[in-house]
Structure 1
């Protein structure tokens, strides 16, 4: 094995994690294998999977940058930002989407490359050290997410990363708990998604639904979990109701979906070249 193969393996594993998140169903308010053309995203599963593949070269480049640098330095953070912006352009040409997932997966892939023996919370701790540095090459104009974060005092994607991805860790714990209880893998993943939704200050939801809408979604996710999660009849009934409600309102908890993809990537470590 060589470093290039290792970098590509990490990128492929990250895209596979994103694809597993896309294919999970039913996801309240989020794209899934059902009739996506009738949903707010206006994208079908094939186009979302195609554009997800466009992340692969950029994620491999991020892994290579981390491995080459060897430490969580300001220079590495700036290089990751530059690669990420180029990758966003490539993904836009392939159909768009996945911006939040690119941010989370990019930092986690870089962390995994920087510390190949790390697992679980060790990976998120390394990502925290990378994210602690400012991206000195970033555009001066604020993004929609940063504007919403400033308006409502939410942590946002940047705050989540600088805190060491607490919701990725929560999702990993939820996966472990559900699996230990004998839940089928899709239901374990849905419980992990709902765990993230129940507390995340999702800036995409804040933008479309405001603080009241965010609290409404968080409460709905908690109700499903308190009913026993998606492995119980009551939990599945609550999930279906929450799904109908969010799609009727056009509310999309995109941040939760991106962080679930990050958790599924970390959960799959270690990865080996094909």
Structure 2
């Protein structure tokens, strides 16, 4: 087993904190409203098979997974081990939700980020966004690139893969192999720019979500609405941003009007939601503390 620079107790403390922040970040994404087409505490968006309760049960099922990924990263685990941990977490999620996919994208994206953080903690290196991205690319980038290449050679195994293949889009696997460019170059900067401007957390997160939606190859949208659905979603997001984004007294009404249009078209930007959750986690562990979004059973029952 590779040696580390930090004692086991330091890694355990970091694993607990980083995993807890992962749950907090995903809860922050869940309770955010308005967000077009997505499940919130207000309504179920474009989904008839899931509600906020499914997401809460999923978070309980996943809360230890993120700590496992931190520990795996700390011991410099190979990608095959990270992938196995992710598949086990998906199975727990599906058991908790009765077979409904609530957080598969977050398991993949946020799990990899937790592993990258674990590696840096073990080496005594600071946690900052640039370093986490560099660690991900250096430690597991080649394996992620090979995985993405293998997926392209095989028949598509998921709705997202089929959508990406049919329209020449970047899948979640392609994004990971590139070090999550939309997350690090669009979503997180939009969140932090809004925070630096003094915007409250809710407005900052809505702004980051729409900035992400405007550029991401969100295959969830293509699966539900075809390539026209993706183009429509991007157009709506850009229009919202061009009208001032999440500022001005009317921003919630403008965002809810877009939400209504997404629901009418059955559009749900799950990929953008996953990146927003990851950005909230990055903001918490590398910058300003993540404000407690609300008192919740998920956070109170953490153990």
Instruction: Tell me if both proteins adopt one fold, taking TM over 0.5 as the criterion.
Output: yes
Q: What SS does the corresponding residue of 1:92 show, helix, strand or coil? A: helix
Shift of 1:228: 0.8
Separation in structure 2 between the aligned mates of residue 41 and residue 51 of structure 1, nearest angstrom: 17
Residues 49 and 229 of structure 1: CA distance in aligned 2, closer, same or farther (over 3 Å): same
Shift of 1:39: 4.7
Residues 146 and 132 of structure 1: CA distance in aligned 2, closer, same or farther (over 3 Å): farther
Separation in structure 2 between the aligned mates of residue 145 and residue 131 of structure 1, nearest angstrom: 21
Task: Identify which of 86, 94, 116 aligns with 1:84.
Answer: 86
The equivalent of 1:146 in structure 2 is 161
8 Å CA contact retained: 1:225, 1:235: no
Per-residue Cα deviation, 1:67-119 (whole angstroms, up to 9, x for no partner): 012xxxxx621111111011100011111410011111011111111113131
Q: Which runs of 5+ in 2 are unaligned?
A: 1-8, 290-302
Shift of 1:243: 0.6
The equivalent of 1:122 in structure 2 is 131
Q: What SS does the corresponding residue of 2:78 show, helix, strand or coil? A: helix
8 Å CA contact retained: 2:19, 2:63: yes
The equivalent of 1:199 in structure 2 is 215
Residues 144 and 39 of structure 1: CA distance in aligned 2, closer, same or farther (over 3 Å): closer
Runs of 4+ displaced beyond 6 Å: 138-141
**Greater shift after overlay, 223-232 or 118-127?**
118-127
Query: Is residue 2:61 matched to residue 1:54?
Result: yes
Query: Is residue 2:254 matched to residue 1:244?
Result: no
Separation in structure 2 between the aligned mates of residue 254 and residue 155 of structure 1, nearest angstrom: 15
Paired residues for 1:132-211 under 5 Å = 132-133=142-143, 134-135=146-147, 142-169=157-184, 170-211=186-227
The equivalent of 2:96 in structure 1 is 94
Separation in structure 2 between the aligned mates of residue 217 and residue 27 of structure 1, nearest angstrom: 12
Task: Identify which of 89, 98, 111 aligns with 2:116.
Answer: 111
Q: Normalising by structure 1, what TM-score?
A: 0.89
Shift of 1:234: 4.9
Per-residue Cα deviation, 1:169-211 (whole angstroms, up to 9, x for no partner): 2111111221222221100000000000000010111111111
Q: Normalising by structure 2, what TM-score?
A: 0.81
Separation in structure 1 between the aligned mates of residue 142 and residue 268 of structure 2, nearest angstrom: 28
Shift of 1:35: 2.8
Shift of 1:156: 1.1
Q: What SS does the corresponding residue of 1:258 show, helix, strand or coil? A: helix
Shift of 1:149: 1.5
Separation in structure 2 between the aligned mates of residue 39 and residue 155 of structure 1, nearest angstrom: 23
The equivalent of 1:43 in structure 2 is 50
8 Å CA contact retained: 2:34, 2:252: no
Separation in structure 2 between the aligned mates of residue 105 and residue 147 of structure 1, nearest angstrom: 23
Q: What SS does the corresponding residue of 1:232 show, helix, strand or coil? A: coil
Q: Which runs of 5+ in 1 are unaligned?
A: 70-74
Q: Report the RMSD for the aligned CA atoms in angstroms.
A: 2.2
Residues 206 and 39 of structure 1: CA distance in aligned 2, closer, same or farther (over 3 Å): closer
Shift of 1:34: 0.7
The equivalent of 1:72 in structure 2 is none
The equivalent of 2:233 in structure 1 is 217
